[in-house]
Amino acid sequence: MKKIIIILAFIVFIFSSLVFIGFLKSRKKEKAPPLTTVEVAQPPPLPTLPEEKKQTEDSQTLKKPYELLFDQTFIYLDLDYPWLYVYDPQNKVIKSINLENKKFDEIYKVSNLKDAWISEDKAKIIVLTNKGFTFIDRKKDVVYKLSPYTKNFVFTTQLWLYLNDNKNISYLAKFQNGKITKIRDLGILNPEFVLLKNGILIYEKNSPLFLLEFEDPSVLKIFLDGQFFDVLTNKNKDLIFLVFRENDRWQSKIIDLSKKDKYSFSWATNKEKCSFDKVLICALPINFNPEEWLIMNPTYDEKIIIFDPENGSLKEINLEEKFDFVKPKLTPLGIIAWDRLSAKFYLLKLD
């Protein structure tokens, strides 16, 4: 009996202790101060990490004045805004692209293309493949395989051919309706042709300029004495851009049909790196070596010049990236140029 009383007394003590501890916790909770909302200041921004800085620099690079005109690679043939003429090597077709709406037309399917040229009226095309020259008459929708002796040509109102068999044939001829009519013998082995208002300039690399007038093509006259590497005329055919070497220095100049010097320049470049419509636009390489460029050795351009013969103004665009531009040409969009290194077209926006 006594043992039972002791056990009951111990249970009552434990229960009373628990009740007392609960009472103290309740009092402490009631006396705790109410919670308040505190505004926490925003931490200062973290310094830019190197990777973030690099991304910013890349975005600034994309804002440079030149941008890709197309993602696809093309081979440049001609440009007469809004029409751009190209060869699509992936689909093996010559195309015309309208730069205002980016629509294109297929002109001629051709494989193994080496080069192609389009007349100023866009009605005639010469195509060179490993099988020789082909003439496309777009007006008559006729294609002609030219003589295997064809070495060069020039678009006049007709097509003129230079034929040479490296033996006893070397002459100029008119080509019309599949027939060849001889104009005259030509004792120039590798002639270059440049169209003027009144005739054709004929020269070899580093030779004098000869003139064959349309009125009397039987007579070949010396037009300008000297040694001229490249010749390019403007759209009106009344100004001539000449590239030549004098006093061991490459230079260039513009003359008129009376052979009078109009403008002289202390630089030179290949004619393929220029266009001459109303204004002369040229890509100037860092180290000019005309023969090396012609055999496809890579070169890098330092700048593009824009010269207006009408008022004598000259503008320069410095190039900060590696380009090898061909035929940069002024359009309402800016300067469009084909980069030989990447086989892509670029648009250079002007201020």
pLDDT in tens, the chain (351 residues): 444 444 544 444 444 444 444 444 444 343 333 333 333 333 334 333 333 333 333 333 334 678 999 999 999 999 999 999 999 999 999 999 999 998 999 999 999 999 999 999 999 999 999 999 999 999 999 999 999 999 999 999 999 999 999 999 999 999 999 999 999 999 888 999 999 999 999 999 999 999 999 999 989 999 999 999 999 999 999 999 999 999 999 999 999 999 999 999 999 999 999 999 999 999 999 999 999 999 988 789 999 999 999 999 999 999 989 999 999 999 999 999 999 999 999 999 887
pLDDT confidence of residue 65? 77
Measure the CA–CA gap between 109 and 220, rounded to whole angstroms.
Answer: 39
* Secondary structure tally for the chain: helices H, strands E: 3, 27
Residue 245, burial from CB neighbour count under 10 angstroms (0-12, 13-18, 19+): middle
Other C-beta atoms lying within 10 Å of the C-beta of residue 317: 19
DSSP string for residues in 224-250: EEEEEEEEEE-TTS-EEEEEEEETTEE
Handedness of CA 106, 109, 114, 117 (dihedral sign): negative
Q: Closest Cα partner for 304 from 276, 274, 263?
A: 274
Q: Closest Cα partner for 277 from 316, 329, 323?
A: 329
Measure the CA–CA gap between 43 and 22, rounded to whole angstroms.
Answer: 43
Taking CA 303 as the corner, what is the angle to CA 301 and CA 305, rounded to the nearest 5 degrees?
Answer: 125
Per-residue model confidence as pLDDT tens digits over 305-339: 999 999 999 999 999 899 999 999 999 999 999 99
Handedness of CA 138, 139, 142, 144 (dihedral sign): negative
For residue 302, which phi and psi values (nearest 5 degrees)?
-90, -40
Measure the CA–CA gap between 211 and 224, rounded to whole angstroms.
Answer: 9
Quote the longest CA-to-CA distance of the chain. Answer: 154
Q: 3-state secondary structure string, 182-193?
A: EEEECCCCCCEE
HSE-up (13 A, CA, CB side) for residue 64: 14
Strand order in the sheet with 179-185: 150-155, 159-164, 170-176, 179-185
3-state helix, strand, coil in the chain (%, to 5): 15, 50, 40
Per-residue model confidence as pLDDT tens digits over 286-295: 999 999 999 9
- What is the CA 131 to chain-centroid distance, rounded? 28
